[in-house]
A and B are shown apart, each in its own frame.
Chain A
Amino acid sequence: GDSVTQMEGPVTLSEEAFLTINCTYTATGYPSLFWYVQYPGEGLQLLLKATKADDKGSNKGFEATYRKETTSFHLEKGSVQVSDSAVYFCALRGSSASKIIFGSGTRLSIRP
């Protein structure tokens, strides 16, 4: 079945550092890929998405490119801020699926 694997956390970085959170997936067909973010005490929020191969999703300085050849959707940001501290979830929705499959989440902490 479809699945998502993302790097285990926690990830701790200094402010203005470069961020990469790895995500790989297994799916049949052509799924859509998502990154969600959960700030403390809140629900998950859609951060960005890509619906076909080579698409790049971007939002709030975050980017991720849908790489079908490597079945990956890594999240990147060039310069993180303390306010980016949160849990990040990679997810996919298969072309024939009614529900989204979420990864286990990666906790990110940014120190000033």
Chain B
Amino acid sequence: DAGVIQSPRHEVTEMGQEVTLRCKPISGHNSLFWYRQTMMRGLELLIYFNNNVPIDDSGMPEDRFSAKMPNASFSTLKIQPSEPRDSAVYFCASSLGEGHNYGYTFGSGTRLTVV
């Protein structure tokens, strides 16, 4: 089991550029979650999908952020245009199901720095 795979591990980009973060969930997991973590705001849920369908995107900070899940094995989080305040670690997590006894498996994260 390769776990949840995120790429890239680190991304440094200039303000105004488009940034795309990628996630491959664990095979067979049907729920996928995108989180952002900063020292100031802690861990924030941005959006989550069940069976590839976005269920709750209320945590997406603004229209500059978008997420897609075209199939069960791949998701992207895009920021366009990026701003310095978007600098954070972005985590993807997946879950086997919606049942309350299922936990999440997290990826190792993408550390984004916008300069």
Chain A residues numbered 25-41 whose CB sits less than 8 Å from any CB in chain B: 30-32, 34, 36
Q: Which chain B residue lies CB-closest to A48?
A: B103
Q: Which residues of A contact B105 (CB under 8 A)?
A: 46
Q: Which residues of B contact A102 (CB under 8 A)?
A: 43
Q: Are A98 and B43 in contact (CB under 8 A)?
A: no
Interface membership of A74, Cβ < 8 A: no
Give 1 or 0 for each of A39-68: 1 = CB within 8 Å of chain B CB.
000111110010100000000000000000
Q: Which residues of A contact B107 (CB under 8 A)?
A: 43
**Stretch from A10-18, A76-84, A87-95 that touches the partner:** A87-95
- A interface size (C-beta, 8 A): 24
Count of A-B contacts with CB under 8 A?
53
Q: Are B56 and A99 in contact (CB under 8 A)?
A: yes
Q: Which chain B residue lies CB-closest to A97?
A: B100
Q: Are A98 and B101 in contact (CB under 8 A)?
A: no
Q: Are B42 and A104 in contact (CB under 8 A)?
A: yes
Distance (whole angstroms) from the CB of A109 to the closest CB of chain B: 16
Q: Which residues of B contact A105 (CB under 8 A)?
A: 42-43
Q: Are B98 and A98 in contact (CB under 8 A)?
A: yes
Distance (whole angstroms) from the CB of A40 to the closest CB of chain B: 11
Q: Which chain A residue lies CB-closest to B92?
A: A43
Give 1 or 0 for each of B31-64: 1 = CB within 8 Å of chain A CB.
1010000000011010010100001100000000
Interface membership of A100, Cβ < 8 A: yes
In the complex, given contacts A43-B91, A44-B104, A98-B50, what are 12 additional A-B residue pairs having Cβ atoms less than 8 angstroms apart?
A32-B101, A43-B4, A43-B107, A43-B108, A43-B109, A44-B106, A46-B104, A93-B100, A93-B101, A99-B48, A99-B56, A105-B43
* Interface, chain B (partner A; CB < 8 A): 4, 31, 33, 42-43, 45, 48, 50, 55-56, 91, 93, 98, 100-109
* Interface, chain A (partner B; CB < 8 A): 30-32, 34, 36, 42-46, 49, 51, 89, 93-100, 102, 104-105
